[in-house]
Structure 1
Amino acid sequence: MTTTLICDCNQTMPLEPKTLGAALAESLPLHSALCRREAASFQRAIQSGDEVVVACTQEKRLFGELATQTPAATSPIRFVNIRETGGWSRDAKSAMPKIAALLAAASLPEPEPVSTVSYNSQGRLLIIGPLDEAERAAALVGDTLDVTLMAQGPGVLGGTQERRWPVIAGRIDSLAGWLGAFTLRWTRDNAIDLDLCTRCNACIAACPEQAIGLDYQIDNARCTSHRDCERACSVAGAINFAREPQVLDAAFDLVLDLGASPRIDWHAPPQGYFHLPGGVAHAEGLQTLLRLRELVGEFEKPKFFDYKQSLCAHSRNEVVGCNACVEVCSAHAIASDKQRQRIVVNPNLCVGCGACTTVCPTGALGYTYPRAPDQGLKLRKLLTTYAAAGGRDAALLLHSQEGGQTLVEQLGRQAQLGKAQGVPARVIPVGLFHAASTGIDLWLSAIAFGASQVVVLCTREEAPQYLAALKKQMEIAQALLLGLGYTGTHFRVIVADSTAVLDAALAGLRTTTQQVPATPARFAIGAVKRDRLEMALDHLMGAAPALQAPADASLAFDLPPGSPLGAIAVDKEKCTLCLACVSACPSGALLDSQTAPQLRFIEKNCVQCGLCETTCPEDAVSLVPRLLASPERKQQVLLNEAKPWACIRCSKPFGTQKAIEAMLGKLAGHAMFQGEALERLKMCSDCRVIDLYSATNEVKIAPL
């Protein structure tokens, strides 16, 4: 049983307890100061043992403290924001169905925990940059972290005379890794050995070209080989122009890069790597140093993905087909392994954006935070409760739990102050770990469940390829609905980095009209992406306006390139039925026949990965992105067939007449295939061996 506590926040929200209670099937007393003078109601609720949903996120910390101070408080507590998401808006009086939906979704069971990825940091920090800036940063963290400086020039002031931290220098060859496991490889190619240098400054004073800076390295572009410095350092022996360059490497747990350009130039750099081109003498620099001080010990993060190689359409026989996940990943966490016919995902580099699972056509990569069945259950709960409470034309606003949620909350506050319209009553915000973590399967399922629109909010924190992938997937989803006869714009991406832009975009949603199925679906979201997609399509096709007339019972329409649905076209003049495409197909869409030379196809299984097209030696196969809205889509259809070739010795059929004739034509002029050798190509494998053995062992008896 669930106890829901609602509060109108000092009467700033026009809540209707009876309407909300009817939708949730429970009595909802209305509070106005639940976090203050009415806190006793919260304490009594959490002593009941029932699950408690508190409709306030602002005072989450305060309620948590109250729970620890309340005797016999055993109830699990959840929090949901109904204020900025609905109660604070121009049309808040019409938002009761949405608020009921948000409260109902908050009472759903917590998703099953996911496996985790571990990091272990001992605090070994590498600081790369001008020596003066590096030393300034080291002074602020050196009491906590084990600091090594990689000097990249002296900077403005140069290094101090006191050697407080190890200093290395040279040409950086590579820097790779993640929190607790960075590897730096560099070439020490300067004449001055910093391990031997005493910083006596004798070389600086002796150099006539002033080619030596206070980083105690020689600028070879300015040095004219007087060697005065080498003579001045004869006692310490730190300078030797004859020394051979030396390649070195070292391990670190953390990296602070103070260079103008980042050494790891990724949109989503690895955890433990920080780039501060402006140095540490500003607010961002100080915040970064505070974060570095905390990154010592053992850490865990969710393992955001599951990978099923059996479903992967990446490669077969070292030929690459689908490469969508590799291309979209901004964290460089996914790589191709053609030899093993798979992709490889590094969980330490994965940042949990989920874009790879969004673009994966087969579901080989699945998102786990939360898993799709949990996400689907939440969407269905939101939409069914919204409709039951009298809501119409629901629009889901999918946003990230960081930048997106912050922007939505800021918009609510602006609406309360009369400076914005706020989140419309029909728009239901749904928080995701990352805006790119859902795709066409869940979007179409949401439409089947009763949503009129699915909107994804991006706040410019997303990588450019994520935004492009979302728009491409939405183009495909929209084409599907339009092809089935559902008019209107059902999918949109909103890019906003201010409340004004978001407010205007959400207000624009009110002016659109979308056609959706008259009866919402009630199917359960499955664990396999293709199954989810098929369930949604079955419901959408069953109620499709374009399929209501008998003449349209086998409707087929084109989809944009990159669609995960479609057929293939086979050029029968080129196709020799070698069946290389069948062996390459990862999804069982292409089939052969046990009784005749045939190529068969099941369109429902095709993921448009392109492996058949790439593998075909005759260039006879091409992809046809489309949707065939008829039962034939799930049935085997014949794409090509040929007459079998009969063995000239035993008459057993083998191969196809076209393939054997093509082979004979190509090899007829070859020196190794003349006479009997060419005839053997017309035999089956058994007869070919017998004929060759007979010819080799034939005994010729000479006349007496």
Structure 2
Amino acid sequence: MLKSTLEAFSDTNGKAKAAAINGTVELTNLIPPTVTYESRGDLLIVGAQENITALAEQFSELHSVTLLATDATEAKAGLSNLYFSQDVSAKGYLGAFEVTCQVAGQLTKANLAKVAIGRDCFDLILDMTENGIMSLEIPAPGYYAVGSRKDKLAQLVEDLPAMMGTFDKPKYFRLNPDLCAHSSRGVEGCDRCLDACPAGALSSNGVEIAIDPYLCQGVGTCATACPTEAITYALPDPQNTQNFVHRVITRYKQEGGEKPTLLFYGNRDENAVTQALATLPSSVIAIALEELATVGVDTWFSALVYGAHQVLLATNTKYIPATIDRVLSNELAMAQRFLTEMGYDADRICLFDFSDVETYVPYQEALVAPVSEALTGSKREKLFTSLEMLYTEASTKPEQSSVVEKAPYGSVSCETKDCTLCMSCVAVCPTRALHAIGDRPGLLFIEEDCVQCGMCEKACPEKVISLEPRFNWDWQARKEAKLVHEEPAACCISCGKAFAPASMVKMLTEKLQGHSHFQGDAIRRISMCEDCRVRDIFEQMEKDPASQARV
């Protein structure tokens, strides 16, 4: 349908657009990784007794049907598969739904599938309750919440018998724990991805992030929210997406096209986009994504420096789930703040509702001369490169800008008079934004690498580190290693070797001088390097063997 719409344009821009889209390798992975669901067709229907008992016979093609009434306590005659409970909880996905409730004859909650069909789980759930027994914004595969909607119910009567067998689904993400800023050494940090998932697929055990590929629905908000690329979208990966955008714009211009506007949209909105393109100017180039939220500020700004005059994010705003709307809105708010801080129109990157098709007016000029090659590097590096190009041509050149809440940009401050250079902050920093000088006691900081995870602030035993959310437009200052704190080294009183910050030795001496293990000459060991400290202990034991028995 979209292809026929592209071919309908006869002007230069329209022909160039068709050539660019049709002549560029598709934005897909050839062999995406998959996960597999297995369903025997064991269905649980939950709801009012009158509704579910009348419906059961319509699913006779399935392997089994279990009924769970939430509004009654007595069964109609002859219904051995009917159970009762008003306290029901469920978790899982197609082929693996665990439903627990308190049924007659049970003193505690039980696994209903074991009671009803002798299995650990149900394969499918048809939920006819008013509020639903699973509260996820994007339901798990195999869970159908219809409430009282008869139109949905009629379709499910036809569709559910086909939900028996083995089904494959793409694994939409890649997870690299080594890049994750969620926690380190028992200190919790970034939780942006957990807040960004509308499908309940992400969880934390306090140590690391886990993603359940069976619950993941591929909306991509976790990857967009992740500041370190510990989570990346895999269908396709971000670099392929940007390469595709660059090739499309380049080909469009080679074919004689002018003043390109990019319109990103999710595959589910293809029909709406097809209708919109028939009315929109022929210079609007539609780029299909698995989901609209799978790309963020780095891709949007890259498109502007590739030559797009504007980036439109097409969606029906009335129906977008709340979590996706929040993530997309936060990302868009940050993008528009970058633009307005430089004196550009915020609508160079904006949401586009399909109801605005008739009134849309495209921008007539580009912001910068387009780059000839696609940008490379991490998504932060590509964003910073794009912003630097836009900043060079900007009418307004700020030094620093405020950022939206939880944005992964900023600095840290340190009350150096109380800092002991213990390096606890360095030990937990996931990006090496904070790191040691190396050859002498000192702490360095690179602002460009800081994702504001907060672990350094929490790990500091002296509580002298605090975060400073902001965006620093001084490229050189942001990239260089800035000295946070430095002090003379304490030298071993035995061998003279530098071994620790002087303030740390002083602090430990003051705190431990009253401890039973550091009485008399033993307090001197705090001022020794590790080798001399061990040597001194053994020399003392040799001189006074009985001291080993004294506590």
TM range (shorter): 0.7 to 0.9
User: In 2 relative to 1, CA 619–700 (structure 1 residues): closer, same or farther, beyond 3 Å?
Assistant: closer
Give the Cα separation in 2 of the matches to 1:257 and 1:548: 57
**Aligned with 1:134 (options 43, 47, 52):** 52
- 1:263-296 C-alpha deviation (Å, 9 max, x unpaired): 10110111101112216xx222111222212111
SS of match in other structure, 1:82 = helix
1:316 CA displacement: 0.6
**SS at structure 2 position matched to 1:147:** strand
Point out where structure 1 has 5 or more consecutive residues left out of the alignment: 1-55, 58-78, 194-242, 416-421
SS in 2 for 1:650: coil
CA distance in 2, matches of 1:465, 1:271: 18
Contact 1:486 1:545 in 2 (8 A): no
Once residues 422 and 361 of structure 2 are traced to their aligned partners in structure 1, the CA distance between those partners, rounded to angstroms, is: 53
Of the three residues 308, 319, 327, the one matched with 1:461 is 319
Q: Establish whether residue 522 from structure 1 lines up as the match of residue 372 from structure 2.
A: yes
Which of 504, 507, 510 is residue 662 of structure 1 equivalent to?
507
Q: SS where residue 681 of structure 1 aligns?
A: helix
Q: Is the 8 A contact 2:297 2:383 kept in 1?
A: no
Query: Which secondary structure state, in structure 2, belongs to the residue aligned with residue 563 of structure 1?
Result: coil
Give the alignment of 1:514-593 within 5 angstroms.
Answer: 516-518=367-369, 520-524=370-374, 526=376, 531-542=378-389, 544-545=391-392, 557-593=401-437
| Aligned twin of 2:357 | 503
Paired position in structure 1 for 2:97:
182
Partner of 1:475: 333
Which of 55, 64, 82 lines up with 1:167 in the alignment?
Answer: 82
Aligned pairs, number: 535
Q: CA deviation at 1:162?
A: 3.2
Residues 180 and 99 (structure 1 numbering): CA distance in 2 closer, same or farther, change over 3 Å?
farther
CA distance in 2, matches of 1:700, 1:361: 57
How far off its partner does 1:152 sit? 2.1
Provide the secondary structure at the position in 2 that maps to 1:492: strand
How do residues 54-453 of structure 1 correspond to structure 2 at under 5 angstroms? 56-57=1-2, 79=3, 81-82=5-6, 87=8, 96-110=12-26, 111=28, 112-154=30-72, 160-163=76-79, 166-170=81-85, 172-188=87-103, 190=104, 244=107, 247-250=110-113, 251-278=121-148, 282-339=150-207, 342-402=208-268, 404-411=269-276, 422-453=279-310
Letter in 2 for 1:259: T
Q: What is the DSSP-based 3-state SS (H/G/I as helix, E as strand, rest coil) of the residue aligned with 1:462?
A: coil
Of 528, 541, 546, 1:696 maps to 541
Q: What code does the residue aligned with 2:272 have?
A: L
Query: Comparing 318-327 with 630-639, which one deviates more in the overlay?
Result: 630-639
Partner of 2:378, secondary structure, is helix
Instruction: Letter of the 1:264 partner, please give it.
Output: M
Which TM-score applies when normalising by structure 1?
0.70
- The CA RMSD measured in Å over matched residues stands at 3.0
Structure 1 residue aligned with 2:480: 635
Q: Distance in 1 between matches of 2:171 and 2:305?
A: 30
Distance 1:389 1:485, change over 3 A: farther
Give the counterpart letter for 2:335 in structure 1: A
Q: Please give the secondary structure, in 2, of the residue aligned with 1:583.
A: helix
**8 Å Cα contact 2:75-2:82 kept in structure 1:** no
Q: Is the 8 A contact 2:17 2:283 kept in 1?
A: no
Task: Pick closer, same or farther for the CA change 1:136–1:106 going to 2, 3 Å.
Answer: farther
CA distance in structure 1 between the aligned counterparts of 2:54 and 2:496, rounded to whole angstroms: 87
| 2:497 is the alignment partner of 1:684 | no
Determine what percentage of the aligned residue pairs are the same residue: 29
Q: Give the Å deviation of 1:644.
A: 0.9
Q: 1:137 to 1:525 in 2, by over 3 A?
A: farther
How far apart are residue 137 of structure 1 and its match? 1.9
Please state whether the residue corresponding to 1:545 is helix, strand or coil: helix
Q: Which runs of 5+ in 2 are unaligned?
A: 114-120, 547-551
> How far is the alpha carbon of 1:187 from its aligned partner?
2.3
Quote the residue 1:20 is aligned against: none
Query: Residues 99 and 576 of structure 1: is their aligned pair in 2 closer, same or farther, counting only changes over 3 Å?
Result: farther
Q: 1:82 to 1:244 in 2, by over 3 A?
A: closer
Residue type of the alignment partner of 1:480: F
Q: Deviations over 1:83-123 (max 9, x none)?
A: 7xxx5xxxx77x64245224322332343221111111110
* CA gap 1:564/1:393 in 2 versus in 1, 3 angstroms: farther
| 2:406 counterpart letter in structure 1 | G
Higher helix content, 1 or 2: 2
* Partner Cα separation in structure 2 for residue 271 and residue 362 of structure 1: 29
Deviation digits for residues 24-59 of structure 1, max 9, x if unmatched? Answer: xxxxxxxxxxxxxxxxxxxxxxxxxxxxxxxx55xx
Residues 596 and 368 of structure 1: CA distance in aligned 2, closer, same or farther (over 3 Å):
same
Contact 2:337–2:346 (CA<8 Å) still a contact in 1? no
Bigger CA drift: 474-483 or 586-595? 474-483
Cα deviation code 1:319-360 (max 9, x no counterpart): 221111111101010111333xx2100000000100111111
Cα 1:610–1:384 shift into 2, 3 Å: same
Q: Can you list the C-alpha shifts for 1:70-95, whole angstroms capped at 9, x where unaligned?
A: xxxxxxxxx46427xxx5xxxx77x6
> 1:648·1:682 contact (CA, 8 Å) conserved in 2?
yes
| Counterpart position of 1:647 | 492
For 1:576 and 1:513, locate their aligned partners in 2 and report how far apart those are by CA, in whole Å. Answer: 57
Aligned to 1:609: 453
1:71 paired residue number: none
* Secondary structure of residue in 1 paired with 2:31: coil
CA deviation map 1:158-208 (0-9, x unaligned): 855333x622334545311100111122223x4xx6xxxxxxxxxxxxxxx
Retained in 1: the 8 A contact 2:19–2:251?
no
Amino acid at match of 1:276: V
1:14-53 to structure 2, matched below 5 A, reads none
With over 3 angstroms needed to count, the CA separation of the structure-2 counterparts of 1:545 and 1:595, relative to structure 1, is closer
Q: For the Cα contact (< 8 Å) 1:488–1:513, is it kept in 2?
A: no
Aligned with 1:327: secondary structure? helix
SS for the counterpart of 1:380 is helix
2:360 paired with 1:492: no
Other structure's SS at 1:573 match? helix
Task: Output the CA distance in 2 between the equivalents of 1:105 and 1:244.
Answer: 63
TM-score (norm 2): 0.88
